[in-house]
A and B are shown apart, each in its own frame.
Chain A
């Protein structure tokens, strides 16, 4: 397949995931949102701040990854798109995090919680995006050779 053919050929959302599976993914996202909103209720809201933030951050990252992987098709598309977005996210997060840290945000937290908040999300993002998924389409490698 030539580069031109590769470039003009429809990339095809169809075929990897069926419409029914997209609906299932949307329902899971809706359920995760409901769990997030559940933390707003008084009985749950009394939990320590660090625990609430940890749970909410985890749910946020899971939702983000699910939308990027399935709806934005990163899981099945060329790996270079994944690398673009993952590199940006992994580099930007600690920069903004350290900036917020230096300006006095998170003043009363345990040091371990602060360091975890800075380090864990980008490491998880990098691990999931860059290592678990190699990207589905490497035809351009064949075309290049």
Chain B
């Protein structure tokens, strides 16, 4: 009997899924990734701040191209997508699969609207004469906001993969941590935009 208990304890100690911190490795991994992504965006924002004023007297600068009301609506859309992804997670944890799917699709749709707005904005800027290589402001602006747009697009792909898993019956309350981790990534994309929107668009030029 005692031998059995000892054997069970030994087995538990060698469980490959046990973690010394007592928490999910996947979630910790996502937080470490988000920490490193902070540094990436920090670098891109710093470069933008350094370059935004380095334009010639006849060059196109932020004042000529930014459409603040349009970008404000895009920002609001992305902000609300953070709410819908949280609602998707809580619905899944309650076992409400139907609402989980609705909120997942809504989040992906809001993300797609944001990316669509960014593509439209880039197109307008290009038609107004601001290309990627026009000046340092253009290069650093497109690099920063483009990287963010890629992050949102990757997030949409992850959300749709969750939706597909849910459609095949492979996503239930027991797998809610998967969606929670993708939610962390989505919220991070949102907080990065909070910083970009304020510093790039709203700070006095």
Contacts and interface: CB of A to CB of B under 8 A. Distances in A.
The yes or no verdict on A and B being binding partners is: yes
Interface size range of chain B in the complex? 35 or more
- Tell me what chain B mostly uses at the interface: helix, strand, loop, or mixed: helix
A105 B93 contact: no
Contacts of B23: 6-7, 78, 80, 140
Contacts of B176: 10
Interface stretch (B41-49, B115-123, B134-142, B159-167): B41-49
Interface stretch (B125-133, B147-155, B188-196): B188-196
B203 A80 contact: no
A84 B31 contact: yes
A84 B32 contact: yes
Give chain A's interface residue range (CB within 8 Å of chain B). 35 or more
Given A60-B194, A92-B38, A92-B39, A71 B82 contact: yes
B12 interface: yes
Contacts of B198: 36, 56-57, 59-60
Contacts of A89: 38
Contacts of A100: 46, 49-50
Interface of A: 2-4, 6-8, 10-14, 19, 22-23, 25-26, 29-30, 33, 36-37, 39-40, 45, 49, 52-53, 56-57, 59-60, 63-64, 67-68, 71-73, 78, 80-81, 84-85, 88-89, 92-93, 96, 99-100, 103-105, 139-141, 143-144
Interface of B: 12, 15, 17-25, 27-28, 31-32, 34-35, 38-39, 42-43, 45-46, 49-50, 68-69, 72, 75-76, 79-80, 82-83, 85-87, 89-90, 93-94, 173-174, 176-177, 180, 183-184, 187-188, 190-191, 194-195, 197-199, 202-204
